[in-house]
Amino acid sequence: MNTDGKKIIPPETLLEAYSQGIFPMSESRDDGTVGWYSAQQRGIIPMDRFKVSSNVERIIRQSRFKCKVNTRFRDVVTECANRKTTWISELIIDSFEVLYLAGYAHSVEMYNAKGKLAGGLYGVSLGAAFFGESMFKNEKEADKVALWHCHQILEKNGFELWDTQFYTDHLAQFGCTEISADEYQKRLDSAMEKMNKEFKI
């Protein structure tokens, strides 16, 4: 599908994939295609197990960063892609921007005292599920503060499933755990039965 001359993955294709626990990844920033993936062991962050370090809690108390939602979505995704190796291609950036404009993709943004983007994350919401995609930081701990704010948003608005796709040691510090594909499917099916939850502060 093309929008203003750009090739994109149709929003309905992306939403159908996410509703089945499938997500796209490219091989590199310049890759013009995507592969579709799932996982036999799925990473999730249970809402009641989320945690951050005492240092991050202190930064939050100090209000070092200001949180905004959905004001610079493309910038956040582009920052997430700005690394030596990435699965976030221009095709994914353009496709998810269309999904954002349709109200299904979201960014959590951290701003420093000078109003500059210090960190953030983005993901997709569908039903009562949030599918976390990637996060970045330009300042120390800004990505972790963004994750804390994301948890606050998900809890406040009644989300039930926080999908991280894969389990990593890095995500484990926030309460990420691994569940089987069968267990994940049960939780996903339950979340998909719910009305679309709002993603707002």
Specify the pLDDT at position 19: 97
Instruction: Tell me if 197 is assigned to some domain.
Output: no
CATH code, domain carrying 69: 3.40.630.70
How many CB atoms lie under 10 A from the CB of residue 139? 15
pLDDT digits (tens, 9 = 90+) for 89-114: 999 999 999 999 999 999 999 999 99
Instruction: Tell me if 137 is assigned to some domain.
Output: yes
- Amino acid found at 101: L
Instruction: Tell me if 199 is assigned to some domain.
Output: no
Instruction: Tell me if 198 is assigned to some domain.
Output: no
Instruction: Tell me if 200 is assigned to some domain.
Output: no
Specify the pLDDT at position 8: 95
Specify the pLDDT at position 50: 98
Contact (Cβ atoms closer than 8 angstroms) between residue 128 and residue 194: yes
User: For residue 3, is pLDDT > 70?
Assistant: no
- What is the extent of the structural domain holding 22? 2-192
User: For residue 1, is pLDDT > 70?
Assistant: no
187 φ, ψ (degrees, to nearest 5)? -70, -40
Residues 6 or more apart whose Cβ sits within 8 Å of residue 107: 69, 70, 71, 72, 73, 76, 77, 100, 120, 121, 122
Could you give the CA distance from residue 71 to residue 137 in angstroms, rounded to a whole number?
17
Mean pLDDT value across the chain = 96
Span 5-30, average pLDDT:
94
Antiparallel, parallel or unpaired: β 41-44 and 177-180: antiparallel
The pTM of the whole model exceeds 0.75: yes
Contact (Cβ atoms closer than 8 angstroms) between residue 122 and residue 134: yes
Instruction: Tell me if 201 is assigned to some domain.
Output: no
* Count of structural domains, the chain: 1
